[in-house]
Structure 1
Amino acid sequence: MPEQPPYLRIADVLRRRITEGEWRPGDRLPSRAQLATECGVGDNVVRRAQELLITQGVLEGRAGSGTYVAEPRQRVRIVRSQIREQQGGSPFRADMAALGRRGDWESRTEAKVPAPANIAQRLGIAEGDLCVRTSYEFLADGKPVQLSTSWEPYELTAGTLIVLPEAGPHAGKGVVARMAEISITVTRAVEQPEPGHATAGEAALLGVPKGALVTRLQRTYYDADGRAVETADIVLPTSLCQVVYEIAISK
């Protein structure tokens, strides 16, 4: 059999030392140079081993401070609910508040992005029509637990105060509440969940192993006329999130 690459061997050594209790959650690891000397390898080998363990959620890097053993992360309960949507505000923040945790997010918005074919089909527009695309990283107590990429038809919100979802006086509100500000009533959402595996980029953002199990939600909001007003691809790692559906029963 081919010999195991040095960085994988060092990753196994570091993982074993953590498992055996030499370093506990929150402990700072020795410097990279010290570990390299102890293990008889170069600094770059230790660096690659640490980077691997960071993507697997075993370690965490802190800029300007060093590398630490990651604290265990508890799963958060994500409720998919018509009732919560109708309450206004951010459903994610409501979920985190119910758990006694602080819900927040980081985002990046790009205006006038041509819609790719699959997004155009979901929004009922032509391929290449302009959209506003926003990428989100949702955080529970400062740690990422969910990713989302949202698309809204630019023609729908152009010239209004909600054209940029995370800017202006209505920033931070959910899609339903934002659309209500321009007299668009969202009446239903369609979600299609599918199991999947985290890509390398998703794993790096979420702090889970590459290939970790995730639930992929394809969600689209519709108004009273059946027009799609927003669609999103949501990534929920199963090790960090418990997805719960709450269904209202009409009497």
Structure 2
Amino acid sequence: MTEARHRRIAGDLRRRIDAGEWLPGDALPSRAELAAELGVHPQTVRLAYVLLRRAGVLEGQERKAVYVAHPPAVRTLTDADAPWPFACEATDSRSCAASEELAARLGVAAGVVLRHETVECLDPGGRSAMLVSSWWRGRRGPHASFAAELGCVELTEEQAHALGLLVDAPAFRVVRTRFDHDGRPLETADLLLPMDRWLVRLAS
């Protein structure tokens, strides 16, 4: 019940911020003040503030004032194969069995064991900008070309948590597959880009 309530409060606060009740840089009420206004325990407000800090809506440290964050920089994706120019953190490197979809993308049999890595790409301010999950078989080597397909998805709970967003937030999904000189797939990846932080510009 507490979890559902703090998520509901976080959603209400986000709507109030979007409506202009508080502007970037404005301090929000203290936990005690907002708890009294809403008729809830201060701990519930604290959890809502934590959720909004993770989502980049609020800034501020634990037990101190929290402020409306300035919007994150919006980046433009023009090359789905370009190296990320800032810091990255690997968050998962467990091997996995190829699903039907991954098998088709890599031209292998379903169930074949694939190498896997998920990397969180950070912007210069240290905020998560993109998640890249890659799968390949054997050794990871250089590629000669790539293809990319653009779609949209709703983030899972794990993905949303990593990106600091609410569950079911929309994101661009770029499916990138790399090929060798003979056109054989070497590696495939899902690039997840939050829609509030990215524009996608197709090359002419």
User: TM-score, normalized by length of structure 2?
Assistant: 0.77
User: Paired residue for 2:175?
Assistant: 218
Deviations 1:121-179, CA, capped at 9 Å, x for gaps: 211122222221111111111111111110010x2x1xxxxx6xxxxxxxxxxxxxxx2
User: Paired residue for 1:108?
Assistant: 91
Rounded Cα–Cα distance in structure 2 between residues aligned with 1:106 and 1:10:
28
Q: Find out whether 1:143 has 2:130 as its counterpart.
A: no
Q: 1:107 is matched by which residue type in structure 2?
A: A
Rounded Cα–Cα distance in structure 1 between residues aligned with 2:153 and 2:166:
13
Rounded Cα–Cα distance in structure 2 between residues aligned with 1:105 and 1:120:
27
Deviations 1:52-104, CA, capped at 9 Å, x for gaps: 544654224646767443221120122216xxx5xxxx6221xxxxxxxxx22
| Identity within the alignment, % | 33
Q: 2:164 is matched by which residue type in structure 1?
A: G
Q: Find out whether 1:202 has 2:203 as its counterpart.
A: no
Matches within 5 A, 1:89-108: 91-93=83-85, 103-108=86-91
Matches within 5 A, 1:174-189: 179-180=141-142, 186-189=143-146
Q: Find out whether 1:59 has 2:58 as its counterpart.
A: yes
Q: SS of 2:104's equivalent?
A: helix
Specify every segment of 5 or more residues in structure 1 that has no aligned partner in the other structure, as ranges.
94-102, 158-162, 164-178, 181-185
User: Which of the pair has more CA radius of gyration?
Assistant: 1
User: Paired residue for 2:35?
Assistant: 36
Q: 2:75 is matched by which residue type in structure 1?
A: V
User: Paired residue for 1:174?
Assistant: none
User: TM-score, normalized by length of structure 1?
Assistant: 0.64
1:39 Cα deviation (Å)?
Answer: 4.0
Distance 1:62 1:15, change over 3 A: farther
User: Paired residue for 1:239?
Assistant: 196
Rounded Cα–Cα distance in structure 2 between residues aligned with 1:112 and 1:12:
40
Give the length in aligned residue pairs: 198
Rounded Cα–Cα distance in structure 2 between residues aligned with 1:148 and 1:10:
27
Deviations 1:196-242, CA, capped at 9 Å, x for gaps: 33333333322334433321111110101222111001111221011
1:109 Cα deviation (Å)?
Answer: 4.2
User: Paired residue for 1:20?
Assistant: 21
1:34 Cα deviation (Å)?
Answer: 4.8
Rounded Cα–Cα distance in structure 2 between residues aligned with 1:47 and 1:41:
11
1:246 Cα deviation (Å)?
Answer: 3.3
Q: SS of 1:71's equivalent?
A: coil
Specify every segment of 5 or more residues in structure 2 that has no aligned partner in the other structure, as ranges.
none
Q: 1:227 is matched by which residue type in structure 2?
A: R
Cα RMSD for the two superposed structures: 3.2
- Retained in 2: the 8 A contact 1:145–1:237? yes
User: Paired residue for 1:175?
Assistant: none
- Retained in 2: the 8 A contact 1:152–1:229? yes
Rounded Cα–Cα distance in structure 1 between residues aligned with 2:94 and 2:84:
24
Q: 2:45 is matched by which residue type in structure 1?
A: V
Q: 1:189 is matched by which residue type in structure 2?
A: F
- Retained in 2: the 8 A contact 1:10–1:39? no
Q: 1:207 is matched by which residue type in structure 2?
A: G
Q: 2:12 is matched by which residue type in structure 1?
A: D
